[in-house]
Amino acid sequence: MDTFTIMVVALGIAVGINIIAKKLHIPVVIGYILTGVTILYTFSLHEAAKSNTLTHIAEFGIVFLMFMIGLEFSADKIKQLRREVLIFGVLQVVVSLILCFIICLYLFNINTKTSLIVASALALSSTAIVLKSFNETKEIHTQYGKSVLGILIFQDIAVIPILLMITIISDSSKDISELLFQTFVSACVVLFILFVPGKKLISIFLRFAANTKLDEVFVASVLFIVMSTSLLVSFFGFSYSLGAFIAGMIIAETKYKYRVESDLVHFRDLLLGFFFITVGMQVNLQFLFANILNIAILLISVMTIKTVIIYLLLRFFKDVENSLKSAISLSQVGEFSFAIFALSSTHNIIDQNIQQLLILVVIFSMILTPFILKNLNFITSFFIKTDEENEKLNRYIAGIRNHVVICGYGTFGSEIVKYLKGHDIKYIAVDYNLKNVEIGIQRGENVFYGDVSKKSILEKLYIEDSVAVVIAVDNTDKIRIICENISRLYPNVNIIVKIKSEEEALLIDDLNIHKIINEKKEIAKMLAHAALSCEYMRLK
């Protein structure tokens, strides 16, 4: 079969697998990896999978991922999450790395260099999967969500020195002190070139590109900046990823940041997808079936050890629930471990069998992660009891009748509470964001902490005796779950839902809902009414 035919069929396989993966709520990362495995064995591309050219092309997926991270990297973001990044993040990476290094070195008798690389890779978690999930479910705004975000930011920053470390230890012909000095001097030269004349030149170059008002010219200019910066940095002995990260940081300080971000996001995703396809092409099914027990034991051990480490570290600063949720959320091994293994393999530092074993462990940990995050509350409930919160809820609302139940106490929910309170209408508000609950309590309002998608919480709100239930939640999937549970338990209750679009309305159209309010339509009516009032006043 010719190359073009293979490319067309491979593209079709990639699209098909990812459509199925999306329906099963599996991240596209896993879909790409499965695509790689399928292509490898469908077309017998075992020799092509070992090609250095393919590896170098695939590396640009990580290059553009690091560029986008650099683009989002700012001092303000670090300042807002300084405790999460500089304390939680540092502790997690350092302690995880040291403990994993000791286990590899003394328990498994792996040599020092390999142990250091393996420990560095296992200390990292998946930014791509965790943040995507948390952004979709709005958990990123919770206390444990912020802890997770801070730790992931530091992990992304830590990738740079880890990749530098691999470059340094791979050169055995020089003394370590000489290598460190040479690296330090090279780093100073690179930073000077890029941040002094380079920063100004990049800004001027982008201005000329933007003035052409041609999107393709602007995108090509950004690609040139990223790739040329990566090439310059590699000339001094550093990884392409470091150059891309610095290029992102430089562009982040220009007025073109948001345009660059929007223009390159799909380009980055495609290259990153290609990278994960090549990762899938490295999977040896014969090795997998021969070592399935070892892989399973190592997978459970790695995820358990990471969970325990993160939980114990956060427990000094956070309560049990938030510490446990943060730890479980970060228990997997991240996508940057593939870049670490790939670079180590290029320098012949890591044994192929160890690399294959670890790649399979990483892949399976990433496959499990979406299901773990989706059932985070359920998993957490096995380890901690929430009876105290339920008892508190019972004491405050026992016997309440003819009240309004508000599910969610965010910006929208708090305004509803304010209105009802002003009209002396009885209400009870429940929110799963502890920060929102604390704000409500400070205001002296009847706001309680709980997950309204759970039957156990709904049963304690006296919904059957309520006037109405207002769903003030932004997550469409969450809205549907809440409405389904309420309709099933209390079919005669009046459910009022706020949605943002007609697409959201269609997703809950089959449910027994008393009133669906489209916020965009209602705001549009109000604006139009205000405009007509102005016209009426002018004519008058």
Give residue 195's pLDDT: 84
Phi-psi bin for 427: left (phi > 0), alpha (psi -120 to 50), beta?
Answer: beta
* pLDDT 10s digits, 292-326: 999 999 999 999 999 999 999 998 888 788 899 99
User: Does 66 share its domain with 132?
Assistant: yes
Q: What angle do CA 342, 348, 354 make, to 5 degrees?
A: 70
**Quick one: pLDDT band at residue 61, thresholds 50, 70, 90?**
confident
User: Does 378 share its domain with 429?
Assistant: no
Question: CA 102 → CA 111, 115, 140, distances in Å?
Answer: 11, 8, 33
User: Does 315 share its domain with 178?
Assistant: yes
Domain range for residue 508?
Answer: 388-536
DSSP codes of every residue in 287-350? HHHHTHHHHHHHHHHHHHHHHHHHHHHHHTTS-HHHHHHHHHHT-S--THHHHHHHHHHHTT-S
Helix or strand (DSSP H, E) at 395? helix 387-397
Amino acid at position 321, single letter: E
Domain count, the chain: 2
User: Does 347 share its domain with 441?
Assistant: no
Question: CA 341 → CA 231, 246, 352, distances in Å?
Answer: 21, 22, 10
* Cross-strand partners of 469: 405, 495
Count of CB atoms within 10 A of residue 34's CB? 23
User: Does 193 share its domain with 120?
Assistant: yes
Contact assessment for residue 266 and residue 86, using Cβ atoms and an 8 Å cutoff? no
Amino acid at position 181, single letter: F
pLDDT: is 262 or 95 the higher one?
A: 95
Cα–Cα distance, 194 to 232 (Å, whole number) = 9
User: Does 365 share its domain with 494?
Assistant: no
* pLDDT 10s digits, 489-528: 888 889 999 888 877 788 787 788 888 888 888 888 888 8
Question: What radius of gyration, in Å, describes the C-alpha atoms of the chain?
Answer: 27
User: Does 332 share its domain with 407?
Assistant: no
User: Does 392 share its domain with 378?
Assistant: no
| Domain end among 361, 383, 405 | 383
Cβ-Cβ contacts under 8 Å for 64 (sequence gap 6 or more): 226, 244, 264, 267, 268, 271, 272
Does residue 269 have a pLDDT over 60? yes
Does residue 97 have a pLDDT over 50? yes
Upper half-sphere CA count for residue 434 (Cβ side, 13 Å): 11
User: Does 431 share its domain with 477?
Assistant: yes
Beta strands in 340-465 (DSSP E): 404-407, 427-431, 447-449
- Tokens coding 352: 């192929």
Cα–Cα distance, 253 to 73 (Å, whole number) = 10
The helix, strand and coil proportions of the chain, stated in percent and rounded to the nearest 5, come to 75, 5, 20
User: Does 85 share its domain with 200?
Assistant: yes
Which CATH number belongs to the domain containing residue 76 in this structure?
1.20.1530.20
* Cross-strand partners of 449: 431
* pLDDT 10s digits, 498-509: 888 877 788 787
User: Does 34 share its domain with 176?
Assistant: yes
| Domain end among 383, 400, 431 | 383
Does residue 392 have a pLDDT over 80? no
Does residue 164 have a pLDDT over 70? yes
Which CATH number belongs to the domain containing residue 515 in this structure?
3.40.50.720
* pLDDT 10s digits, 214-245: 888 888 898 899 889 988 888 887 777 778 88
Give residue 189's pLDDT: 87
* Mean pLDDT for the stretch of residues 360-380: 87
Cα–Cα distance, 361 to 351 (Å, whole number) = 15
What distance lies between CA 530 and its chain's CA centroid?
41
User: Does 33 share its domain with 155?
Assistant: yes
453 exposure class (CB count in 10 Å sphere: 0-12, 13-18, 19+): buried
| Domain end among 317, 348, 383 | 383
